[in-house]
């Protein structure tokens, strides 16, 4: 049995999960972690188990963390558990946090991998220039093949030292005590508070009431009221509502009005829509 769980807002992790799945000789069961599939954590999994996920401010989607804590993994010698962090240039040590979740279950992560794709965090940074984005996509097939080869060979792999640089720590507003970080020091971190951030989301006058934002939200956190979106208080900060809105009218306070939008160019809207 081979299962890949993925979480996605703007399609990067879906692309990586799909490309991985296509290169293995066996059938791979792809499961998107979202509000509709949380119950699937209670089934039993064994064999090759992959987790493909974005990093959010050195953390991971809260829904994914809860899902993985619940995930039932059979303790068999055939397991090879691997994680693939699809990041935007500063993966930090989120994979260490993820490893600690599996270690506590008694089924350790065997391979931890990183993949660089464009940054989707419009609430933090502007999108990268398209030429730069193209570079990350050009490197993807070779990187995916490296991961597949390592998983097939059951090679133990770690991410190496990916601690954020002092510059990145400062830019993110993180404050870390001196010394090597223990497993869970970075997560949760004080700047990753999606529900606080969500309080300042709104649709500006460009909204056409199409409901795309409702349909793409993995947390089912948006409803249309009088033709306009309202956010319901359990945001994951995935940016799907910002990045797939055809009118580019979802805003965060006064931070996003002049920033370019990004969603993965190889994934279609209907492949992200959940409802
Ligand atoms: C709120 C937020 C915070 C993020 N923080 C980081 C970060 O600390 N480091 C990083 O490398 N990428 C960061 N990213 C970028 C995403 O991890 C990256 O673009 C990912 O590939 C998006 O996956 P998706 O397209 O499947 O949703 C952040 C994105 C968001 C939305
Ligand atoms: S996707 Fe954009 S235009 Fe459509 S309802 Fe949502 S905010 Fe309005
Ligand atoms: S409300 Fe928007 S940012 Fe929050 S989880 Fe839903 S789609 Fe993602």
Domain shared by 27 and 104, yes or no:
yes
Residue 86 has pLDDT above 90, yes or no: yes
Helix axis angle for 62-70 and 94-105, nearest 10°, is 20
Residue nearest to atom 6 of ligand 2 (CA): 213
Domain shared by 13 and 145, yes or no:
yes
Ligand 2 pocket, 245 CB below 6 A?
yes
Domain shared by 146 and 202, yes or no:
no
Q: Which atom of ligand 2 is nearest to the CA of 244?
A: 1
Mean of the per-residue pLDDT values of the chain: 91
Query: Which domain CATH number covers 37?
Result: 3.40.50.360
Domain shared by 208 and 266, yes or no:
yes
Ligand 1 pocket, 141 CB below 6 A?
no
Q: Which atom of ligand 1 is nearest to the CA of 10?
A: 25
Q: Mark which of 152, 185, 219 sits at the end of a domain.
A: 152
Domain shared by 44 and 126, yes or no:
yes
Residue 217 has pLDDT above 80, yes or no: yes
Ligand 1 pocket, 111 CB below 6 A?
no
Domain shared by 99 and 210, yes or no:
no
**Residue 167 has what pLDDT?**
67
**Residue 171 has what pLDDT?**
66
Assess if residue 82 is contained within a domain.
yes
Distance from the alpha carbon of residue 58 to the mean position of ligand 3, in angstroms: 18
For residue range 2-42, list pLDDT tens digits in order.
999 999 999 999 999 999 999 999 999 999 999 999 999 99
**Residue 104 has what pLDDT?**
87
Give the model's confidence band at 165: pLDDT under 50 very low, under 70 low, under 90 confident, else very high. Answer: low
Ligand 1 pocket, 90 CB below 6 A?
yes
Q: Which pair of structure tokens corresponds to residue 257?
A: 């009005």
For residue range 143-159, list pLDDT tens digits in order.
999 999 999 999 999 88
Q: Which atom of ligand 3 is nearest to the CA of 222?
A: 1
Backbone angles phi, psi at 269, to 5 degrees: -55, -45
**Residue 91 has what pLDDT?**
85
What DSSP line would sit under 127-190, residue for residue? PPPHHHHHHHHHHHHHHHHHHHHHHHTT--B-----PPPHHHHHHHT----SSSPPTTSSSS-T
* Stretch among 108-112, 161-165, 255-259 having the lowest mean pLDDT: 161-165
Which residue in 86, 78, 6 sits closest to 40, CA to CA?
A: 6
Assess if residue 214 is contained within a domain.
yes
Domain shared by 86 and 137, yes or no:
yes
Q: Mark which of 135, 152, 169 sits at the end of a domain.
A: 152
Cβ neighbours around 41 below 10 Å, total: 17
Strands 2-6 and 48-54: parallel
Domain shared by 130 and 201, yes or no:
no
Assess if residue 165 is contained within a domain.
no
Assess if residue 139 is contained within a domain.
yes
Assess if residue 263 is contained within a domain.
yes
Instruction: Please tell me the total count of domains within the chain.
Output: 2
Ligand 2 pocket, 209 CB below 6 A?
yes
Domain shared by 58 and 117, yes or no:
yes
Assess if residue 187 is contained within a domain.
no
For residue range 236-250, list pLDDT tens digits in order.
999 999 999 999 999
Query: Which domain CATH number covers 238?
Result: 3.30.70.20
Q: Mark which of 98, 122, 152 sits at the end of a domain.
A: 152
Strands 228-231 and 222-225: antiparallel
For residue range 260-271, list pLDDT tens digits in order.
999 999 999 999
Distance from the alpha carbon of residue 9 to the mean position of ligand 3, in angstroms: 8
Mean pLDDT, rounded, for 217-235: 97
| Domain span at 19 | 2-152
- pTM summary value: 0.93
Ligand 1 pocket, 87 CB below 6 A?
yes
Domain shared by 73 and 129, yes or no:
yes
Cβ neighbours around 215 below 10 Å, total: 18
Q: Which atom of ligand 2 is nearest to the CA of 222?
A: 6
Ligand 1 pocket, 89 CB below 6 A?
yes
Ligand 1 pocket, 13 CB below 6 A?
yes
Residue nearest to atom 6 of ligand 3 (CA): 217
CB 68, CB 104: distance < 8 Å: no
Domain shared by 102 and 201, yes or no:
no
Domain shared by 42 and 108, yes or no:
yes
Assess if residue 189 is contained within a domain.
no
């Amino acid at each position: 049995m081979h299962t890949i769980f993925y979480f996605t807002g703007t399609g990067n992790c879906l692309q990586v999960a799909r490309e991985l799945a296509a290169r293995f000789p066996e059938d791979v069961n792809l499961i998107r972690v979202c509000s509709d599939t949380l119950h699937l954590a209670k089934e039993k999994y064994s064999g090759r188990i992959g987790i493909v996920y974005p990093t959010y401010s050195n953390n991971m989607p809260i829904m994914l963390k809860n899902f993985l804590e619940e995930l039932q993994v059979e303790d068999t010698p055939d397991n090879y558990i691997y994680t693939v962090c699809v990041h935007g240039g500063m993966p930090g040590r989120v994979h260490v946090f993820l490893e600690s979740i599996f270690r506590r279950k008694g089924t350790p992560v065997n391979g931890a991998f990183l993949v660089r794709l464009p940054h989707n965090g419009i609430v933090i940074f502007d999108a990268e220039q398209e030429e730069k984005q193209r570079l990350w996509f050009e490197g993807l097939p070779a990187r995916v093949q490296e991961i597949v080869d390592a998983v097939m060979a059951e090679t133990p792999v770690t991410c190496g030292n990916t601690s954020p640089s002092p510059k990145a720590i400062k830019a993110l507003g993180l404050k870390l005590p001196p010394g090597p970080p223990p497993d869970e020091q970075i997560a949760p971190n004080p700047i990753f508070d999606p529900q606080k951030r969500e309080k300042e989301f709104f649709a500006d006058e460009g909204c056409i009431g199409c409901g795309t934002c409702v349909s793409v939200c993995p947390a089912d956190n948006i409803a249309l009221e009088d033709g306009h979106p309202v956010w319901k208080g359990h945001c994951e900060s995935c940016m799907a509502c910002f990045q797939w809105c055809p009118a580019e009218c979802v805003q965060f306070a006064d931070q996003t009005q002049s920033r370019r939008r990004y969603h993965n160019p190889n994934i279609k809207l209907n492949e992200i829509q959940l409802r």
